[in-house]
Amino acid sequence: MRDQEPPDDDVGIRERLHRLLNEHSQSDIARKTGTGVAAVNRYVHGARIPAGFCASLVRGLGVNPAWLLMGEGSPYLSDVPEQTARLGENMLELVEAMSAVSKMLLGSLAGKSHLKVLRELNDALLAHERLRESMNQRSRPVFERIIQDLQAALDRLDLERAIELHKAATQVSRFCDDEALSRDFLRVSAYFEFQRKRSDRFLDYQRRLFLRSLPDGKLFDERACDEGRRIVVALTQMHRVKEAVQICRAIRALAGKRGRKWPAFSRLENTYGVLLAESGKLRQGLELIERSLPRLDGMYRKVSEAALLRMLIWSGALTVMDALNVGEPTDAKAQHFVTYATWLLEPKALRAAIAYATQPGLSPVWKSDSFLQRGRMLLELIEHPSTERVAEFEKSPPTQDSAEADIAPWLELVRTAEAYRVAGNRKSARARMEEAITVMQGVPSGLCPPPMEEATAHRAVLDLFAGDKSAAGAKALRRARKFFEKRVAGGYICFEPVLQGDYGLRK
DSSP codes joined into one string, 396-414: SPPPPPGGGTTTHHHHHHH
Report the run of H or E that residue 310 belongs to, with start and end. Answer: helix 298-314
**Domain membership flag for residue 351:** no
| 439 within domain boundaries | yes
Range of 439's domain? 385-507
Q: How confident is the prediction along the chain (507 residues), in pLDDT tens digits per residue?
A: 333 343 444 567 888 888 888 888 888 888 888 888 888 888 888 888 887 787 788 778 888 776 776 666 667 766 555 445 454 555 555 555 555 555 555 445 555 556 665 666 676 667 666 766 766 777 778 788 888 888 888 888 788 888 888 888 887 787 777 788 888 888 888 888 877 777 778 888 878 877 776 665 466 788 888 888 888 888 888 888 888 999 899 888 888 888 889 999 999 999 999 999 999 999 999 999 999 999 998 889 999 999 999 999 999 999 999 999 998 898 889 999 999 999 999 999 999 999 999 998 877 665 566 788 889 999 999 999 999 988 888 777 655 554 456 788 899 999 999 999 999 999 999 999 999 999 988 877 778 889 999 999 999 999 999 988 899 999 999 999 999 999 999 999 999 999 999 998 865
Residues 63, 35: contact at Cβ < 8 Å?
Answer: no
Half-sphere exposure of 187 (CA within 13 A, CB side): 17
Backbone phi and psi for residue 177, each to the nearest 5 degrees, phi listed first: -105, 15
Q: What is the pTM of this model?
A: 0.66
Write down the pLDDT at residue 341: 95
- The pLDDT assigned to 273 comes to 95
104 lies in a domain?
Answer: no
How many domains does one find in the chain? 1
Establish if 503 belongs to a structural domain.
yes
Phi and psi based region of residue 425 (left: phi greater than 0; alpha: psi -120 to 50; beta: remaining): beta
User: Does residue 341 lie in a domain region?
Assistant: no
Structure confidence at residue 158 (pLDDT): 84
498 part of a folded domain: yes
28 occurs within a structural domain: no
Q: Which pLDDT value is given to residue 42?
A: 87
**Cα(65)–Cα(166) distance, integer angstroms:** 19
Would you call 506 exposed, middle or buried from its count of C-beta atoms within 10 A (0-12, 13-18, 19+)? Answer: exposed
The amino acid occupying position 161 is: R
Q: Count the Cβ atoms, other than its own, within 10 Å of residue 111.
A: 9
314 in a domain, yes or no? no
Nearest by Cα to 387 from 429, 341, 342, 432: 429
